[in-house]
A and B are shown apart, each in its own frame.
Chain A
Amino acid sequence: MSIQTAYSSQASPAEAVADVKKQLGSEPLKLLLFFASTQYDPTVLAKAVNDAFPGTPHLGCTTAGEITSGLMLEKSLVVMAFGTDALADVNIQLVLEPANPAAVMQALMNFEQHFGEPIAALDMDRYVGLVLVDGMGGAEETLMEGLGDATDVLFVGGSAGDDLAFKATWVFSGGLAHSNAAVLAILRPTGRFGFIKTQSFITLPKKLVATQVDEPNRRVLEFDGKPAAVAYAEALSVSVADASKRFMRNPVGLMAGDEPFVRSPQRFDGNAMVFYCNVKEGMELSLLESRDIVEDTTKAIEAKQKELGTFSAIVNFNCILRTLELKAAGQMDAYGKVFAGVPTIGFSTYGEEFLGHINQTATMLVFAR
């Protein structure tokens, strides 16, 4: 069966899970990955999945919109089922306090025990990590840094959403729903795999250096020795009042060569700027400007297909800010169609994970035939 997907927009968790179960059939699974709207009671949904797929390792999280092959959905459940021929091995670990480095370390030690070799020695060409984390807890940076320090295995994933309510998000593991938690998986695919990180921005010449920050609260107090809001507005050559309308179009990027790791402004807090991910003191950030998401994503997928060959599946962690931009531009259908023809699931995230915690990006795990 390799990798299959299914989705359901049935109203209740039990109906939705029964619907996808029927679509997937009864072949044994190595792993079930699922993303769901918070219209489904998380606790009921977690149990329904566990009951419908007994003995199948599974993980998932809540969303701010779901993605499946060819479609951008809302109030739905999307699932990806990995057959026994798709994965040679998988292990899932729940981290109940992802901001606690000791909790992350314990999960890594559990991975070591399962795979029978030190986490630092796991071959990044054979293993890949998935990370789903509470989207409201602000723990992503600590979690990703802990993972990146310990292993070269690349973890890709997203921060759970709650349909833009911004009240509580959930991750799923072992038949239970958890807040303030992360669920990690390390997979050993039988075939080739790769990553796509695409953010659909161009880099403008203007740079801003964070000279005073409140890192734990993701606040930048000063850029270039000036109040952050003033410096950001000056960089855009607009008033501070108008600058707040430019956050989505003009975020900033920490540049790794030509590759931006996007930091998206959330709001002005007086003259400070609050971001959706952290900015460290001394970081030099480039001003970015948005480009066509559909066109850029299509190019990124085509480039990766040339490298890897025909895809057998895509897991897409797409920033909610991109989804909102797509909605505003009337491009939701066009974006969904980018993934038509390839078994795909994904969701609109409250943050993306790829080496670190980033914003306004789509991070994807792709499997090749």
Chain B
Amino acid sequence: MPGLVKKMIDAIVLERSKGNVVIANSTRTKLLLKGIDPLKYTPTTEDDAAIIAKVRTAALDFGVRLS
């Protein structure tokens, strides 16, 4: 299923920021610093198991539960 990485990133940003734009931006920057560039992933990006695992780890770091 393409686009899973973007969905996961969006979920992390939404959960963490609760709609606060400043926190959303800082969360995206924190992801970038963890080696996950949110701008690289679109709804059509092919899923990559290694990236998915990396994003799951980031979610755990942030205390965000991904469904």
Please list the residues of chain A having a beta carbon within 8 angstroms of any beta carbon in chain B.
120, 124, 145, 148-150, 152, 154, 254, 256-257, 261, 280-284, 355-356
Q: Which of B26, B35, B37 has the most CB of A within 10 A?
A: B35
Check B33–A261 contact: CB distance below 8 A: yes
Which listed residue (B22, B29, B63) contacts A149, Cβ 8 A? B63
Instruction: Knowing A149-B63, A152-B23, A154-B26, say if A356 contacts B35 (CB, 8 Å).
Output: no
Q: How many A-B pairs with Cβ below 8 Å?
A: 42
- State in angstroms the CA–CA spacing of A80 and B29 once bound together: 30
Closest to B30 in A: A148
- One digit per residue, 1 when the CB lies within 8 angstroms of any chain A CB and 0 when it does not, for chain B 26-59 equals 1011101111010100000000000000000000
Interface of B is mostly: helix
Check A124–B22 contact: CB distance below 8 A: yes
Check B26–A152 contact: CB distance below 8 A: yes
Check B61–A281 contact: CB distance below 8 A: no
- State in angstroms the CA–CA spacing of A150 and B33 once bound together: 15
Additional A-B contacts beyond A145-B30, A149-B63, A256-B32 (12; CB < 8 A): A124-B22, A124-B23, A148-B33, A149-B61, A150-B63, A254-B32, A257-B39, A261-B33, A280-B34, A282-B35, A355-B30, A356-B33
Check A254–B23 contact: CB distance below 8 A: no
Within 8 Å CB of A145, what residues of B? 30, 33-34, 61
- State in angstroms the CA–CA spacing of A99 and B23 once bound together: 25
Within 8 Å CB of B34, what residues of A? 145, 280
Task: List 18 A–B pairs whose Cβ atoms lie within 8 Å, in order of A's numbering.
Answer: A120-B63, A124-B22, A124-B23, A145-B30, A145-B33, A148-B30, A149-B30, A149-B62, A149-B63, A150-B63, A254-B32, A256-B29, A355-B26, A355-B29, A355-B30, A355-B33, A356-B29, A356-B33
Check A281–B35 contact: CB distance below 8 A: yes
- State in angstroms the CA–CA spacing of A304 and B63 once bound together: 32
Within 8 Å CB of B61, what residues of A? 145, 149
- State in angstroms the CA–CA spacing of A42 and B38 once bound together: 43
Within 8 Å CB of A257, what residues of B? 39
Report the minimum CB–CB distance from B49 to chain A (whole Å).
14
Instruction: Knowing A149-B61, A355-B29, A355-B30, say if A283 contacts B22 (CB, 8 Å).
Output: no
Q: Which of A120, A256, A282, A356 has the most CB of B within 10 A?
A: A256
Within 8 Å CB of B37, what residues of A? 283-284
- State in angstroms the CA–CA spacing of A355 and B37 once bound together: 15
- State in angstroms the CA–CA spacing of A305 and B11 once bound together: 35
Closest to B23 in A: A152
Within 8 Å CB of B35, what residues of A? 280-283
